[in-house]
Amino acid sequence: MDRAKLQSTTPISPVSKRRAFLVALSLPGQPGFLVEEHLDELAELTRSADVEVLGRAIQQRRSPDPGTFIGRGKADELREAVQTVEADLVIFDDDLSPSQIKNLEETLGLAVINRSGLILEIFFQRARTREARTQVELAQLQYLLPRLTRRWSHLSRQVGGIGVRGGEGETQLEADRRMLRK
């Protein structure tokens, strides 16, 4: 990222559990002030989730990169920025595809979420009744279901059957999807 586009912010609290770096994409035709307003709002949402905002970046592109949303080179620069400020979470203002999240997490070496995931987390933190927690948890699971793809790439098919004659069973992904649908 251009150093001018990286802006550090004052830490909220020294006892915050999570430390985040915020990222937005600016497309042609979008007024710059609107992208800034969206990032300001994302920063407030992040703070309301009791997450410290360490910095932010705006990437200007003609269109989102299908692999990393912000482009491979900018993702590498973002990795350096988040390592410098010692963030443990990156929050994107825009919706990311499951493969973009996976690619970014591999490149950055830390968790990546987007605005929708953050909002669900805030609702979960604020839910007080069992019914409210259950409803939010269901929404989180529905949000997570399509994002399971490639999360378990290190696990192939689980052995099925009884004894040594059992063939290949279901993949961990299939097992997770089955469990989430229950």
Coil, strand, or helix at residue 2? coil
Specify the CATH number for the domain of residue 55: 3.40.50.11060
29: left (phi over 0), alpha (psi -120 to 50) or beta: left
Q: What is the pLDDT of residues 41-73, one digit of tens each?
A: 999 999 999 999 999 999 999 999 999 999 999
Residue in 116, 10, 6, 101 with CA at minimum distance from that of residue 57: 6
In 3-state terms, what secondary structure has residue 25? strand
Q: Which two tokens mark 160?
A: 């099925």
Residue type, 48: S
Asked whether residue 163 is assigned to any structural domain, the reply reads no
* Count of structural domains within the chain: 1
Flag whether 63 is in a domain.
yes
Residues 96, 17: Cα–Cα separation, whole Å: 24
Helix segments in 64-164, DSSP class H:
72-85, 98-108, 115-126, 130-144
Predicted confidence (pLDDT) per residue in 144-176, tens digit: 777 665 454 444 444 444 444 444 555 666 666
Q: In this structure, is residue 36 part of a structural domain? A: yes
Q: What is the largest CA-CA distance in the chain?
A: 64
Q: Does residue 128 lie within any of the structural domains?
A: no
Residue 162 lies in a domain: no
Q: What is the pLDDT of residues 13-38, one digit of tens each?
A: 333 479 999 999 999 999 989 999 99
Look at strands 18-26 and 89-92 and give their pairing: parallel
Is 169 among the domain residues? no
Residue 181 lies in a domain: no
Element (H, E) at 169: strand 168-171
Please tell me the pTM assigned to this model: 0.73
Q: Hey, what are 8's tokens?
A: 């550090």
Asked if the structure places residue 97 within a domain, the reply is yes
> Which residues fall within 8 angstroms of residue 106, CB to CB, at 6 or more apart?
none
Residue 107: domain span: 3-115
Residues 88-104 have pLDDT tens digits of 999 999 999 989 999 99
